[in-house]
A and B are shown apart, each in its own frame.
Chain A
Amino acid sequence: MSSQVVRSIAWGLIAGALGLGTFMSPPPVMAAQELRIGFLAPTTGIFAQVGKDMTNGFQMYLDEVGGDFAGAKVKFIVEDEEGKPPVGVRKVEKLIRQDKVHMFIGGLLASTGYALAPVSTRLKTVYVASIPAADDLTQRDSAKFPYMVRTGWTSSQPNHPFGEWACEQGYKRIVTIAADYAFGHEVVGGFQKTFEGCGGRIIQKIWPPLGTIDFGPYIPTMKKDADAIFTLMVGPMSLQFPKQLAAAGIKKPVLGGGTSYDEFVLPSMGDEVIGHVSALQYSAALDTPKNAAFVKKYREKYGKVPSYYSESNYSTAQMIHEVLKKTKGKWPGTEQFVKMLAGVQLETPRGPVRLDEMRNPVHNVYIRVVRKKKEHGYDKDELWNTVVKTYPNVGQFWKYPKAEFLKQPVYSREFPPCKYCE
């Protein structure tokens, strides 16, 4: 290696360092009233379509109000978090340090939520968790994350009423099969807690790893004497499981966590999912004027039915706008913003939403059955999550007293223990 080589490298390094220093260091010019919002969604990789739904939801609301929140110009910066927690963390560092955002929103997976919340504490920036549903973010760990507000849901929230609904149907013995990660554990845990509370029995729990697409090993191990099957699938798993279940000749009733039949995957599904029941705080088939208008507008704009991922971020934008209306477009400061956002009460496409004192939404939970029919005046038979029952104003603790609920450990593979597993 000759000296000239080294010299040119040295110059390169110096020039590079100076370049970084000069081009990147001046903070963005503060426009009179600019609201900078960082948004994290996977735009590449397995969850690319979900990421698009998330972004579209928020963007649609922004377009409706012309990118203007009560006088504040919204600068909406979308970053690709690839569905990977570490990438999410790196992108948030960029959003906060480089773009000086007032808040960051999103992240997809529960694990990403767990990774992002500490960053909001460390860098004292508002984090609005519109999708990550990890229970403890707004439960046992809530005190650790003073700058976090959740506008989405906790994983167990819709599944508490769902467990009671299952009792009402007369199911006594249920087998669960769910993706083996925090979100799956919490969804199953919530369901099990209330289902066993009203006399039901979970007789077997099966945990295929996240991303499993061949269910061949698991389906035959399911107990034959169960009354029903409870499933929780995400992403590509949602598509394969019902098909392989049907092919294996199993005709038991199927209940599922909301994401298993979300509208983002429903159009790709076959008729084998007709009759499957799930619980969530949203359904595109929800028959309210507000939702009908939302669905029509969204579908016209993006060519597909909105999923809960779209709705949740649309409503989030709506809630943030609500806060800015009160401050007349001024940024109220981090602490104050968190307080104000937590106080918002609003009519959204999913129904009325308010936040509890741990900054998690209280909203309706809908029991939805997949049916092939015409909805909202569209003239073609399609698969829709038809709402058959509404549990109004469900909070994250269901009917349990908060203090008592928080004393039990967070739902996991081990909790609630499987008392009736054979």
Chain B
Amino acid sequence: MDAQFWLIQAFNGISYGALLFLLASGLSLIFGVMRIVNLAHGSFFLLGGYVALTVIWTTGSWLLAIPVAALTVAVVGLLMERIFLRPLGFDPLRQVLLTVGFAYLFQQAALDIWGGDNLDITPPDILKGSIVIEGLHLPVYRIFMIGMAGTIGLALWVTMEKTRIGAMIRATVDDAQMARGVGIDTSRVSMFIFALGAFLAALGGVIGGAFLGVYPGLDFAILPIAFAVVIIGGMGSLTGAAVGSLIVGLADNFGKALFPEVSYFTLYAPMVLILALKPTGLFGRE
């Protein structure tokens, strides 16, 4: 266990965390603004990967696939919010069950449309291979994932802190009733957030598709990890999602490398610890 080992493991953990951030930030925002436990979030991730594949097969362009997939799934999310979730009003239980129903529908639809093959998104050649620094092989794609998550995180942060819509969102997270009271159209905010969440998850799906693959069942495989991030980081907080992603990415990586026997405990133990000490998560507010 030399320094090289620790460095490469830390790097791997951070890059995995970067991917988790794309997935979990949307989940966290949806939770914060709408108080919805969205069990269809993994489906958005998977659909993103599939739509991207279709774009790549028809146009051959990976670059084009990213926005097309993310926007397509954002529209799906938007419609789902407008047509189905909104009419329910605030009712956590029925909303969560509705998202479960959609998760099943999406899963079957994806199987019917794209088949059951284990597929893979091939990134452009420039992102393949690895950079060698002092004998450390750093895969370019992992560096790209970190960069991508950093960019998206920064954009989200700027949106939240510096724009009008960001202020409206923050107000809604803090106190939806009060926000309505001062004239914020919280229904609009919710719609925007749900679509944004779907957008981010699908983006994660495209980026992650080259790294995790695209296959039926990925939706439910990735979902618990996203929830671990949100629970640790704090529900509804962007900073929380970022910190949570890093913690989970690193805990998962080092846990598996150092204590392979109990690898899931290293993922769930921090979660339980946080639940016991601060049920709202590190950065969540009551």
Contacts and interface: CB of A to CB of B under 8 A. Distances in A.
Direct contact of A and B (CB under 8 A): yes
A8 interface: no
B137 A49 contact: no
A220 B8 contact: yes
Interface string A173-193: 000000010000000000000
Contacts of B117: 49, 268
Nearest to B132: A249
A244 interface: yes
Contacts, number: 106
B130 A247 contact: yes
B128 A220 contact: no
B108 A220 contact: no
Interface string B106-120: 011001000111111
Contacts of A208: 256, 260
28 contacts: A43-B116, A44-B111, A46-B218, A48-B111, A48-B116, A49-B115, A49-B116, A51-B116, A52-B116, A213-B212, A214-B211, A214-B212, A216-B9, A216-B12, A216-B16, A217-B9, A217-B12, A217-B252, A218-B257, A220-B5, A236-B118, A236-B213, A240-B213, A247-B128, A247-B140, A249-B130, A268-B117, A268-B119
B139 interface: yes
A239 B16 contact: no
A305 B16 CA distance: 34
Contacts of B137: 247-250
Given A49-B117, A214-B211, A239-B213, 13 more contacts: A44-B108, A47-B116, A48-B111, A213-B213, A217-B12, A236-B218, A239-B120, A240-B212, A247-B130, A247-B140, A248-B139, A249-B132, A249-B137
Interface residues of A, number: 38
Main secondary structure of the interface of A (DSSP, over half): loop
A209 interface: yes
Contacts of B140: 247
Contacts of A268: 117-120
Main secondary structure of the interface of B (DSSP, over half): helix
Interface of A: 43-52, 180, 206-209, 211, 213-214, 216-218, 220-221, 235-236, 238-240, 243-244, 247-250, 265, 268-270
Contacts of A213: 211-213
A225 B253 CA distance: 23
B239 interface: no
Given A206-B260, A239-B118, A268-B118, A217 B253 contact: yes
